[in-house]
């Protein structure tokens, strides 16, 4: 493996990706890499750049659909060595990109820090949530971000500060290929009050979303002033099935999958939804999940 000389211990070839995603679908990666430090990660990025190998960053696989043919490139997973978080002076929280969002929200509750409650019930790790400005009806993560440490295409590390950051609906202006960590400006509050709000948000999501079934979260972004789920429901698509993939009866912006489903089933269903909604409402739905 001359491409990754000195990094053999963290590089796996022809690696199955399906077990690493929430949908449990998709093919294999040419390379699957789990760096144990920022220095190793930088070496990996430099090697990929020098050999023109595309880079894909995989967190917990909550917002991604892997094609059945797999990924021709290097899939980098920021695992256990990128999961820590710490409280700084002045109610500031610093967390690494691999930190689980659910655990991070609960840590804020325990430490009496308010501002992250809006991320309750949102799956995934911090890096992906920052990149796409994850959130929902209760707010989004971009509203409390103060700075983001990133790694550029040549393996260089630098910091983006609040005045230089822009967050919009499910998007940000962070173009660097890898997010390393983020710092959040939170506020001190009563842990019991924060916990009460977290519970209320969780109950709302449990009652309105199919959290118990395999899915990748919301499939489409909400068009301005509209609800993607309502548009899909209005088009009569709840329960629509292609192979082992079907539209949730509980929330039409979720595609659920059965055992034996293929990524191609999901992709065909996505196309059916888009075409039907457009014919019905003249609205073209934009994808929220990533397809590799």
CB–CB of 292/65 below 8 Å? yes
Going by the DSSP 8-state scheme, the letter that residue 100 receives in this structure is: B
Give per-residue burial for 98-119: e unless 16+ CB within 10 Å, then b: bbbbbebbebbbeebbbbbbbb
Phi and psi at residue 30, to the nearest 5°: -55, -45
Q: What is the pLDDT of residue 169?
A: 94
CB 114 within 8 A of CB 189: yes
> pLDDT at position 26, please?
97
CB within 8 Å of 129: residues ≥ 6 apart: 101, 119, 122, 141
Residue 197 burial class via C-beta count within 10 angstroms: exposed 0-12, middle 13-18, buried 19 and up: middle
pLDDT confidence of residue 107: 95
Confidence at residue 41, expressed as pLDDT on a 0 to 100 scale: 97
Can you give the pLDDT at residue 1? 62
What pTM value is reported for the model? 0.92
Rounded CA-CA distance 248/259 in Å is: 16
Name beta bridge partners: 187. 114
* pLDDT at res. 264: 98
Specify whether the CB–CB gap between 66 and 26 falls below 8 A: yes
Bridge partners (DSSP) listed for residue 114: 187
**Strands, E assignment, 89-156:** 92-96, 113-114, 135-136, 139-140, 145-151
Three-state secondary structure call for residue 182 = strand
Domains along the sequence of the chain with CATH: 2-77 (3.30.43.10), 83-208 (3.30.465.10), 228-291 (3.90.78.10)
| Tens-binned pLDDT, residue by residue, of the chain (292 aa) | 678 889 999 999 999 999 999 999 999 999 999 999 999 999 999 999 999 999 999 999 999 999 999 999 999 999 889 999 999 988 999 999 999 999 999 999 999 999 999 999 988 899 999 999 998 888 999 999 999 999 999 999 999 999 999 999 999 999 999 999 999 999 999 999 999 999 999 999 999 999 878 888 899 999 999 999 999 999 999 999 999 999 999 999 999 999 999 999 999 999 999 999 999 999 999 999 999 9
Query: How many beta carbons lie within 10 A of that of residue 284, not counting itself?
Result: 11
CB contact at 8 A, 48 and 30? no
Euclidean distance between CA atoms 184 and 186, whole angstroms: 6
Pair of tokens at residue 183: 């710092």
């Amino acid at each position: 493996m001359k491409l990754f000389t000195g990094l053999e211990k963290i590089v796996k070839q022809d690696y199955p990706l399906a077990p690493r995603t929430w949908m449990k679908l998709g093919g294999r990666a040419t390379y699957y890499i789990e760096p144990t430090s920022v220095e190793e990660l930088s070496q990996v990025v430099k090697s990929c750049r020098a050999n023109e190998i595309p880079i894909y960053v995989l967190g917990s696989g909550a917002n991604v659909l892997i094609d059945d043919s797999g990924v021709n490139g290097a899939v980098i997973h920021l695992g256990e060595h990128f999961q820590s978080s710490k409280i700084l002076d002045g109610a500031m929280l610093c967390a690494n990109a691999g930190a689980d969002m659910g655990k991070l929200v609960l840590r804020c509750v325990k430490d009496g820090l308010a501002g992250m409650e809006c991320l309750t019930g949102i799956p995934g790790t911090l890096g992906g949530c920052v990149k796409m400005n994850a959130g929902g009806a209760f707010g989004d993560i971009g509203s409390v971000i103060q700075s983001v440490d990133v790694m550029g295409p040549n393996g260089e590390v630098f910091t983006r500060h609040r005045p230089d950051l822009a967050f919009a609906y499910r998007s940000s202006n962070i173009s660097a290929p890898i997010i390393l960590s983020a710092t959040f400006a939170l506020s001190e509050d009563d842990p019991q009050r924060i916990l009460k709000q977290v519970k209320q948000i969780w109950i709302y999501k449990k009652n309105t979303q199919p959290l118990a079934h395999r899915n990748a979260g919301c499939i489409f972004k909400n068009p301005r002033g509209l609800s993607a789920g309502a548009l899909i429901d209005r088009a009569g698509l709840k329960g629509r099935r292609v192979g082992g993939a079907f539209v949730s009866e509980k929330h039409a912006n979720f595609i659920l999958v059965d055992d034996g489903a293929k990524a191609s089933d999901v992709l065909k269903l996505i196309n059916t939804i888009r075409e039907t909604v457009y014919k019905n409402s003249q609205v073209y739905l934009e994808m929220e999940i990533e397809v590799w």
